[in-house]
Every structure is written in structure tokens, then in C-alpha cells.
């Protein structure tokens, strides 16, 4: 008889441990409580639709053939984290505009930070309520820093090249506007090179000349802005996942948003079992800080892959791209959240968050700098 098993996906290839995942190397590792942690070969030939990667927690229906192989017939959707309806949110949704950008913020042949200057110019024109600036602010991958072509120390680069633009931003926006900096493991100004990371300390920001009124978030982070939950993960989990995923006719056909959706579905900012060797370390001891607390309305996952904005199951999945790409400017995001009309908020669909938010409320524009 068919049963439903719960476990996590593993990629095991005894002939070539470094080989990429395939349909023939899938294993299901059961939980210690229900299956004593046993690993069993997973046969997905009869499953019409799936999207799998190592480390993914799944609920799979099928038959256990002679105890040595589990023949999957279908994969069940996992329970979602609580997602508040419009009427149940602690704070009513209020309209706001936002700017979201991710570094590097300067071109690869200089340290003049022209893309950051242009971003600040555009931001001061629109005067948004929220500005999210994700690192790296002083990238360890910048050729001039990597090859020692400047006498400036990383904090000096930040204080002389980045902070003046931040000061201009803070002075030009209303005091009610929130400005947040998010560190990156590639940032030379952060003493923490693993993921997750704490916020930039106040002492570091003060030494770098960052003005008061600009705060730092941890990486990853979840914040509530005017009743809207925004999740931010400033590590290229999508680039790591794209090499490890195997799929067949998945429900979300667009691959890059599907990779971002894995984070939401798995309730985890880095659900991949093992990061690649060239990646900053993932601290297993800090796994609790990588778990999402509530289902996000907006999921921000910067990546070197193609930028995108996509709605899926009541979440906006967003890759703003990078503000600088080599010798040319990159992209950033303009975000607009509008409050539901009084008719929608008081109508019979009050508790139906799927229809009320964010489909009716959110617009995203990817802007090239």
C-alpha cells in the first residue's frame, strides 16, 4: 500500500561523490524519530512533477519496495508558515514606497562609486519611505583591492567613498524614512565572513562616518514595514541551488523564482545541505537564525543570476540584481505597496490573504542604473 514518508533529500553517488545531482542519485533520509535516520534510494520515475535538491525536506507518497527503494508517486506540499490575512495583522497595511539595491556599488576599474551616486540621486527624487542597501559596500572581489592597487584600507574606502553618499541620502530624505544597511560575507568592512552575520556594530558605523538615522540589519533578517513582512537573505543561495536542483514539470515553471520559492517553502534562508567550497561558511551552530519566523510577503534574495520579480502563492519573490556589474552599471528595485481599498478590507474575503495581499497591493519595477 502507498504510504507518505517525510525526510530530506540527499545526493549520494558512490562512484563519484562530487558528481552533480541526478534522478539516479536521489536518496531519502528519514527522521531519527520516525525512521531511525535511515537512508533509502528514492525512485522518482513515476512522479509526474517534482523539484528537488540536497537538504530539502519533503513529504513524498509512494511505496517502499522490499525495504531498499522508495518508489515515489507524488510529492505533497509542505505546511506553510502562518501568513496573516489583512484583518489579522498586528499593524494595518499602510502604503509605502521603497528602494532595494545590492552591491557592489562601484565599477571594477575604480573606487569612485558612480553607481551609488546615481542611485542616491534617483532615490532623492522619489523620496521613498524605505531604503534597503545590501552589501558588499567594500567588496573583497574588487580588482583594485584584491591586487593592492590602492593605499586605502577598507574602512577608509567606506568612510571616504561610501559614507558621504549615505550622509547625502539621510539629509535628503524625510526623518520618517527608514534606511537600512545589510552586511555581506564578501564585505571587507565586516569582521564576520560566515553566514549568518550580525548587523554592523554602531562602533564600526561611527568610525566609518555613517550618520545617525541609518541602521544596520543582520544577515539574514525579517522586518515589518507598515504591516508588510520583508525577508532579506544577502547570500547567493540561488546561484548555489541552480547547480544542485533536479526537476520535472514543476508547479512553478520559471526556474529562478522557483529557486527563491524553495527558501519560503523550506522556511529556511539557506536550505541547501552543503554549500560549495568557494562559498562563505554556513554556521550550523547558528541554524536557528536561518529559520524564518513567519511567511514573508516579500522575499529579497540578491543573486548574480538574472534579476526577476515574481508573484507566487501570495509572496513576491525578488532578485534586485547588483548595482554594479564589472565595467557597467547594474540594476536595483523600486517597490510600491498600496493599502487595500476599504471595500476589499471590509468585504467577505477579509481572512483570505491569498487574494488580498500582495497581489492587489504590490508593484515592483527593476531599474537599470
**pLDDT tens profile 105-138:** 999 999 999 999 999 999 999 999 999 999 999 9
- The arithmetic mean of pLDDT across residues 346-363, rounded, is 51
- Start-end of H helices in 159-254: 163-172, 202-207, 237-242
> Crossing angle for the helix pair 114-126 and 163-172, nearest 10 degrees?
10
What pLDDT shows up at residue 265?
Answer: 96
| Burial grade of 364 (CB within 10 A; 0-12, 13-18, 19 or more) | buried
Confidence of residue 16 (pLDDT cuts 50, 70, 90): confident
What pLDDT shows up at residue 353?
Answer: 41
What pLDDT shows up at residue 346?
Answer: 36
**pTM over 0.85, yes/no:** yes
Q: Per-residue pLDDT for 245 more than 90? A: yes
**pLDDT tens profile 271-309:** 998 888 777 678 878 899 999 988 999 999 999 999 999
- The arithmetic mean of pLDDT across residues 181-204, rounded, is 94
- The arithmetic mean of pLDDT across residues 308-315, rounded, is 90
Q: Per-residue pLDDT for 185 more than 60? A: yes
Report CA-CA distances (Å) from 214 to 8, 173, 207, 222.
41, 11, 14, 17
Nearest CA-CA partner of 69 in 24, 15, 31: 24
Average pLDDT, the chain: 90
d(CA 54, CA 57): 9
**pLDDT tens profile 36-82:** 788 999 999 999 999 999 999 999 999 987 778 999 999 999 998 87
Amino acid at each position: 500500500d502507498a504510504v507518505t514518508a517525510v525526510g530530506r533529500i540527499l545526493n549520494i553517488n558512490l562512484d563519484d561523490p562530487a558528481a552533480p545531482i541526478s534522478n539516479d542519485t536521489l536518496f531519502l533520509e528519514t527522521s531519527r524519530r520516525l525512521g531511525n535516520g535511515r537512508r533509502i534510494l528514492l525512485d522518482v520515475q513515476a512522479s509526474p512533477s517534482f523539484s528537488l535538491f540536497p537538504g530539502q525536506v519533503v513529504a513524498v507518497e509512494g511505496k517502499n519496495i522490499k525495504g531498499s527503494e522508495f518508489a515515489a508517486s507524488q510529492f505533497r506540499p509542505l505546511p506553510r508558515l502562518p501568513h496573516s490575512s489583512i484583518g489579522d495583522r498586528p499593524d494595518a497595511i499602510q502604503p509605502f514606497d521603497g528602494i532595494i539595491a545590492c552591491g557592489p556599488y562601484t565599477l571594477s576599474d575604480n573606487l569612485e562609486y558612480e553607481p551609488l551616486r546615481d542611485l542616491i540621486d534617483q532615490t532623492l527624487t522619489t523620496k521613498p519611505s524605505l531604503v534597503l542597501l545590501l552589501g558588499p559596500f567594500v567588496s573583497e572581489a574588487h580588482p583594485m583591492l584584491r591586487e593592492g592597487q590602492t593605499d586605502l584600507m577598507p574602512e577608509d574606502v567606506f568612510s571616504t567613498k561610501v559614507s558621504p553618499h549615505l550622509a547625502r541620502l539621510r539629509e535628503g530624505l524625510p526623518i520618517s524614512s527608514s534606511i537600512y544597511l545589510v552586511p555581506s560575507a564578501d564585505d571587507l568592512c565586516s569582521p564576520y565572513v560566515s553566514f549568518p552575520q550580525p548587523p554592523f556594530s554602531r562602533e564600526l558605523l561611527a568610525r566609518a562616518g555613517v550618520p545617525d538615522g541609518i541602521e544596520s540589519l543582520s544577515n539574514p533578517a525579517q522586518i515589518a514595514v507598515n504591516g508588510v513582512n520583508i525577508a532579506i537573505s544577502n547570500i547567493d543561495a540561488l546561484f548555489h541551488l541552480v547547480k544542485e536542483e533536479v526537476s520535472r514539470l514543476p508547479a512553478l515553471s520559471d526556474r529562478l523564482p522557483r529557486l527563491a520559492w524553495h527558501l519560503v517553502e523550506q522556511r529556511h534562508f539557506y536550505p541547501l545541505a552543503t554549500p560549495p567550497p568557494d562559498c562563505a561558511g554556513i554556521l550550523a551552530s547558528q541554524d536557528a537564525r536561518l529559520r524564518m519566523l513567519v511567511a514573508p510577503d516579500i522575499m529579497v534574495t540578491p543573486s548574480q543570476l538574472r534579476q526577476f520579480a515574481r508573484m507566487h502563492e501570495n509572496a513576491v519573490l525578488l532578485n534586485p540584481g547588483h548595482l554594479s556589474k564589472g565595467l557597467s552599471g547594474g540594476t536595483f528595485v523600486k517597490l510600491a505597496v498600496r493599502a487595500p481599498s476599504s471595500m476589499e478590507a471590509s468585504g467577505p474575503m477579509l481572512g483570505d490573504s491569498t487574494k488580498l495581499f500582495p497581489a492587489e497591493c504590490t508593484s515592483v519595477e527593476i531599474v537599470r542604473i
